[in-house]
Amino acid sequence: MSRRWQWLVLAGGLSFLWLPIVVLMVYSFNESRLVTVWAGFSTRWYGELFRDRQLIEAAWLSLRVAVLSASSALVLGTMAAVALTRYGPFRGRAVFGALLTAPLVMPEIITGLSLLLLFVALSPFVARGMLTLWIAHTTFATAYVTVVVATRLAEFDRTLEEAALDLGATPFRTFRDVTLPVIAPALLSAWLLAFTLSIDDLVISSFVTGPGASTLPIVIFSSVRLGVSPKVNALATLLVLAIVLGAVASWLAMRRASTRYRAVVVAGPK
């Protein structure tokens, strides 16, 4: 394939992915109430957005649930990945791995319905709301974290850990000072993936949420039945900008950490 065709294929792929988002961002500055009719540049819908208490509360709830569930899934998924890759064969290992990866292929409606039945049975003790959203999102996000981290651990050079152990480091210190810095990019990628899946989820959230705990996807889905409001475009634009800034900051942090780690390896232990 010639270089020209490569550039055309790349441009076509990027346009397919990003052109709808760019159009959405452009129309967030539209004066008209109709999202498909351009009536001039205006920022009025951003002001309307910050005056919409329902959207702001839903966005804040989604962010809190996403951060909590992504962090919980990162801890649980990393522990599961270490168990699968660092320990030898143990009784029930195949079943354990199958149960961990089941949410990857299981339809969301089945997961949501099963969690709903669980929370209904626990209703005298657990009220449906932010807590049940946190548990549900952690449940399916842990599977994705486990796959990402386990893949990185499987490619990890075990001689680095063995060298640290031979030099007198404890297993905990070896994991903290050697393993974690090396797999840090995978951990960050897994956390971002879990965060994105949580903040984007609609099906499972609609099953496990309760009164007064509507996430942003639920509120948007309920409102678009009456027509898309330009406020949704403004909110989506702010979310896209926040995600882009977060991705850039994460890339810079990983690059700095990688450079510092290489410098320590070259200089040797003090």
CA–CA gap between residue 121 and residue 116 (Å, rounded): 9
**pLDDT tens across the length of the chain (270 residues):** 578 888 888 888 888 888 888 888 888 888 887 777 788 888 888 888 888 888 888 888 998 999 999 999 999 999 998 888 877 777 877 788 888 888 888 888 998 999 999 898 888 788 888 899 999 999 999 999 999 998 888 888 788 888 888 888 888 888 888 888 888 888 888 998 899 899 889 899 999 988 878 888 888 888 777 777 788 888 888 888 887 887 788 777 777 766 665 655 555 544
27 and 235 Cβ atoms separated by less than 8 Å? no
pTM: 0.81
State residue 42's pLDDT score. Answer: 84
Q: HSE (CB half, 13 Å, CA atoms) of 96?
A: 15
Please state the domain extents for the chain: 1-42, 53-267
CA–CA gap between residue 208 and residue 43 (Å, rounded): 36
101 and 237 Cβ atoms separated by less than 8 Å? no
pLDDT single digits (tens) 139-189: 999 999 999 998 888 888 788 888 888 888 888 888 888 888 888 888 888
CATH number of 53-267: 1.10.3720.10
Q: What are residue 30's DSSP bridge partners?
A: 41
Q: Distances in Å between the alpha carbon of 217 and those of 124, 157, 193, 200, 236?
A: 28, 42, 17, 7, 11
pLDDT single digits (tens) 121-142: 888 788 888 899 999 999 999 9
Place of tokens 């200089």: 267
Long-range contacts, 47-51 (Cβ 8 Å, 24+): 48/230, 48/231, 48/234, 49/231, 49/234, 49/235, 49/238
